[in-house]
Amino acid sequence: MFLLLACLAGPARAGTTEVFGFGAAAVGRGGAGMGLVDGPEGLFLDPAGLSAMPAARVVFGGALVRAGFEPIPPVRWDTNRDGRVEEGESLDIDPAIDPADGFSFALGRPVGGRFGLGFAAWLPADRLLRIRTFEPAVPEYFMFANRLHRYEAVAGFGWEQLPGLSVGGAVEIIARARYTMSIGFSAAVSGAEPDTEELGEVVGDLRMDVHEIGLDLLPGFAPVASLRWDVGRAIPALDGLVLTGAWRGSSGLPVDIDVDIQLDVTVEDMGELEPLVFSALLPVQLAFIDHYVPERLSLGAGWRRPGWGLALDVRRTAWDRLELNVARVVEASLDTEVLALDDPEIRDGNEFYAVFRPTWGATRAGAVPGPGSPRPGR
């Protein structure tokens, strides 16, 4: 039997670094201001900004993150599945969001005046991995099951190729887990005596043997590319204006699970029948994704003046590629010594239909605290 379980975080929100930004200045701007960042704190938004880093920088921090939704009225629903919605039958949806407290670390270093390297990471204080699915037959707001508390790590570079024009590249360091398990079940069934009253009296010697368990945690990578133009370097009248664009591939934490189940049943003392050994093999393959961050394109403009700045960011998020965290049966097979079924017709009990579209959104910050002074020209 082959199962595909796409366990993806809901589309309500991304991680802490996407929502609040990285570093105290970014949090103060509400995550906006791609064009205002010129250090390792901007690796999650615009790695090309590393080329504008004036000196080596090390950043340590922590945050207490709280979020939530307004209370949701109970949803009327046929909870006992009798085909009628009666008085008192409802679902109580809890929109509470777990705390997303965590710690941040970033370091960056300029190399040769036009090149910069950096690394940044966010480590949640709660949990690193969570697997959860939802039942599509129940009108659960799956977006509330998403979480902000997950680890983020990225390493990259920024390179000023022409005066004021920089390119950057980075990789988000993600993990991929592979879990394997081999289980054997065995049971002995003997003939019933005349005074037998319960089925359990003919089934004996029931055993379960876990033969093998394995877990491999493998590294994975999601690409980030960006382009940055310091307009003031070419047009002095626009000193302090920076235009930037960045593309970030989709990422997540996938977990592949292979379960090999073997069932052996021995039947004996059944009248004139010869003793029978019945064996069945049931391989199960599952694929989980702890969370899902869709591909996105970000465009930003920032104007930096001594002590303050202006910023405008626009982002396209590819939600049209989202898969829901619903368990679906896509293929099944059963092999035994007395019965064989190949590609049987199976109707998925979790049938659903959903359409998602990419979205555009603008994050605007008016007059916000900015760098002490615009970056001097070289």
Residue 284 main-chain phi, psi, to 5 deg: -125, 130
Q: Could you report the per-residue pLDDT of 323-377, keeping only the tens digit for each? A: 666 655 555 555 555 555 555 555 666 676 778 889 998 866 555 555 544 444 4
Tell which residue, 157, 159, 165, 160, has the closest CA to residue 42: 157
Confidence (pLDDT) at 166 = 95
Is the model's pLDDT at 97 over the cut of 70?
yes
C-alpha span between 23 and 178 (Å, rounded) = 33
User: Which has the minimum average pLDDT: 109-118, 223-232, 266-275?
Assistant: 266-275
Is the model's pLDDT at 13 over the cut of 50?
no
- 144: left (phi > 0), else alpha (psi -120 to 50), else beta? alpha
Is the model's pLDDT at 145 over the cut of 90?
no
At 156, is the pLDDT very low, low, confident or very high (cuts 50, 70, 90)? very high
User: Which has the minimum average pLDDT: 90-104, 209-223, 248-262, 326-340?
Assistant: 326-340
Confidence (pLDDT) at 14 = 61
Cβ atoms 310, 368 nearer than 8 A: yes
Please state the rounded mean pLDDT for residues 207-223. 86
Give the global pTM: 0.74
Q: What is the identity of the amino acid at 361? A: G
Please state the rounded mean pLDDT for residues 225-232. 94
At 16, is the pLDDT very low, low, confident or very high (cuts 50, 70, 90)? confident
Residue 150 main-chain phi, psi, to 5 deg: -145, 155
User: Which has the minimum average pLDDT: 8-22, 63-77, 297-311?
Assistant: 8-22
Please state the rounded mean pLDDT for residues 63-78. 77
Confidence (pLDDT) at 202 = 56
- 205: left (phi > 0), else alpha (psi -120 to 50), else beta? left
Is the Cα torsion angle 38, 41, 43, 45 positive or negative in sign? negative
Is the Cα torsion angle 368, 370, 372, 374 positive or negative in sign? negative
At 137, is the pLDDT very low, low, confident or very high (cuts 50, 70, 90)? low
From the options 2.60.40, 2.40.160, 3.30.70, 1.10.10, give the CATH code of 2-69+98-368.
2.40.160
Confidence (pLDDT) at 116 = 94
Please state the rounded mean pLDDT for residues 37-49. 88
Write out the two tokens for 123: 């480590």
Please state the rounded mean pLDDT for residues 231-253. 89
Those residues whose C-beta lies under 8 Å from the C-beta of residue 164, and which sit 6 or more positions away, are: 229, 230, 231, 232, 233, 234
Is the model's pLDDT at 129 over the cut of 50?
yes
- Output the average pLDDT for the chain: 76
Confidence (pLDDT) at 273 = 56
- Domain locations in the chain as residue ranges: 2-69+98-368
Cβ atoms 361, 318 nearer than 8 A: no
Please state the rounded mean pLDDT for residues 102-123. 92
C-alpha span between 366 and 29 (Å, rounded) = 9
Could you tell me which residue, 178 or 156, shows the higher pLDDT? 156
Is the model's pLDDT at 74 over the cut of 80?
no
Share of the chain above pLDDT 90, in %: 18
User: Which has the minimum average pLDDT: 110-124, 242-256, 273-287, 295-309?
Assistant: 273-287
85 DSSP β-pair partners: none
Is the model's pLDDT at 5 over the cut of 50?
no
Confidence (pLDDT) at 27 = 77
Those residues whose C-beta lies under 8 Å from the C-beta of residue 63, and which sit 6 or more positions away, are: 16, 20, 27, 101, 102, 104
C-alpha span between 317 and 297 (Å, rounded) = 7
User: Which has the minimum average pLDDT: 32-36, 282-286, 288-292, 366-370?
Assistant: 366-370
At 269, is the pLDDT very low, low, confident or very high (cuts 50, 70, 90)? low
